[in-house]
Chain A
Amino acid sequence: MPHQTSLKTVKRSNEPFWWALFSAGGVIAALCVPVLLFMTGLAIPLGWMDAPGYEAMYTLFENPLSRLVILVIVSLSAFHWAHRFRFTLYDGLHLKHLNAPVAFFCYGCAILFSAYAAYSLYSF
């Protein structure tokens, strides 16, 4: 490996870790969020769709599989938000010099939210 010496001097970024979560969350959010948001937030409250009763929702969420799906959706989407919002602040407001606190805040929120989601979905 003739290039090994020069390799020592460069610092590989850890960005791929967050970027992978961002991308996975982006796909999940793009696929799932519009339809869910439209149904639970607009169509049902506005009466365009029949409101599923409490019993039906309870049975649905009682199934661990549906809770697992929800956990995947909410936590990956949260990481998607964290990464994207972090860069929105950097780009939109020239905040690159606040790299550490901004990253800490964004990823911190996503981690705490995911932990809370995991806990509350587990103890449904």
Chain B
Amino acid sequence: MNHANTTTTIDLEVYRYRPELETEPTFDTFTVPLRSDWVILDALNYIKDEIDGTLSYRWSCQMGVCGSCGMMANGEPILTCASFLKNYAPGPIRVEPLANFPVARDLIISMDDFMEKLNRIKPWIIVEEEKPLEEGEYLQTPEQLDEYKQFSMCINCMLCYSACPIYGMEPSFIGPAALALAQRYNLDSRDHGNQQRLDILSTDDGIWQCTFVGECSEVCPENVDPAGAIQQYKVASTNDWWKSKLMPWGNKK
């Protein structure tokens, strides 16, 4: 660490919202050292340590795993621990809380809505009947794992929700990550919750609000491709609908 050697700096325009002080958000500009190994999160930590200790934001792992440091940088949802300052030089960088969510304070959004939706899609393995312990584990081949692996990489960072204009306009939309996670369990060979989830997700708030803007997949740091998951879900749900209309006697799984 040799702060002293730093010659160049970069400005951060940081979104401030302190509900006890103001009813509308404002922006504060902070000048921080432009170090080549610093990410935006380092700059925020520098501001909090050296300039203004009241700045509030979330972070934890600092290595793109926990998914808590998502914010908007110049209008794009990013993980601040994975976005280097130098890529934004000469700046300024406008740092805002994740779009489309209610803001609780400064860069902190309320994620209640996402947590509720996540829960609604039953993100766990549903089995019809538990096997007795003696029968051993629920085994899976590498091919079976490949079927859903991509969708299981989600770190719940909610960047996709910020990129989704549909979610911005219709907060009732279940949204990209939760739908991708539903698909993650649907495609798991050990899971039998397909029909239960389909019943939830083929409602109007489920997949049918999606018009395949596709930006959720563009911003996802884990390449989960929620947009793809939702389209696949539409195909499955459509097949299911036609089956139930054309063959109402056909028994549902």
Do A's and B's CB atoms come within 8 Å in the complex?
yes
Q: Write out, one digit per residue, whether chain A residues 8-22 have a CB within 8 A of any chain B CB (1) or not (0).
A: 001111111101100
- In the bound assembly, the distance between CA atoms of A23 and B211 in angstroms comes to 12
For A6, what are the chain B residues with a Cβ–Cβ distance below 8 Å? 199
Contact A12 B195 (CB under 8 A): no
A46 to chain B, nearest CB (A): 35
Q: Pick from B4-12, B37-45, B142-150, B237-245 the stretch touching chain A.
A: B237-245
Q: Which of B169, B211, B252 contacts A94 (CB 8 A)?
A: B169
Interface presence of B170 (CB below 8 A):
yes
Interface presence of A1 (CB below 8 A):
yes
Tell me the residues in window 1-40 of chain A with beta carbons closer than 8 Å to chain B beta carbons.
1, 3, 6-7, 10-17, 19-20, 23
What DSSP secondary structure best describes chain A's contact surface?
helix
Which of A16, A19, A23 has the most chain B CB atoms closer than 10 A to its own CB?
A16
Contact B238 A16 (CB under 8 A): yes
Contact B203 A7 (CB under 8 A): no
Contact A3 B208 (CB under 8 A): no
Residue of A nearest to B244 (CB): A12
Q: Which of B165, B170, B234 contacts A96 (CB 8 A)?
A: B170
For A17, what are the chain B residues with a Cβ–Cβ distance below 8 Å? 241
Interface presence of A91 (CB below 8 A):
yes
Given A10-B200, A11-B203, A96-B169, are A19 and B211 also a contact pair (CB < 8 Å)?
Answer: no
Q: Write out, one digit per residue, whether chain B residues 228-253 have a CB within 8 A of any chain A CB (1) or not (0).
A: 00000010011011100000000010
Q: Which of B165, B196, B202, B234 contacts A12 (CB 8 A)?
A: B202
B230 to chain A, nearest CB (A): 12
Interface presence of B204 (CB below 8 A):
yes
Interface presence of B166 (CB below 8 A):
yes
Chain B contributes a number of interface residues (CB within 8 A of A) equal to: 21
Interface presence of A113 (CB below 8 A):
no
Contact A10 B203 (CB under 8 A): yes
Given A19-B234, A20-B242, are A91 and B166 also a contact pair (CB < 8 Å)?
Answer: yes
Contact A3 B169 (CB under 8 A): no
**Beyond A11-B204, A16-B242: 7 further Cβ-contacts under 8 Å?**
A7-B199, A12-B199, A12-B202, A13-B204, A16-B238, A17-B241, A20-B242
Interface residues of B (CB under 8 A from A): 165-166, 169-170, 195-196, 199-200, 202-204, 206, 208, 211, 234, 237-238, 240-242, 252
Q: Provide 9 A-B residue pairs closer than 8 Å at the C-beta atoms, listed in order of the A residue.
A: A3-B199, A10-B200, A11-B203, A12-B199, A13-B203, A15-B202, A16-B202, A87-B211, A96-B170
Ranked 5 nearest A-B pairs via Cβ: A16-B241, A15-B208, A16-B238, A3-B196, A13-B204
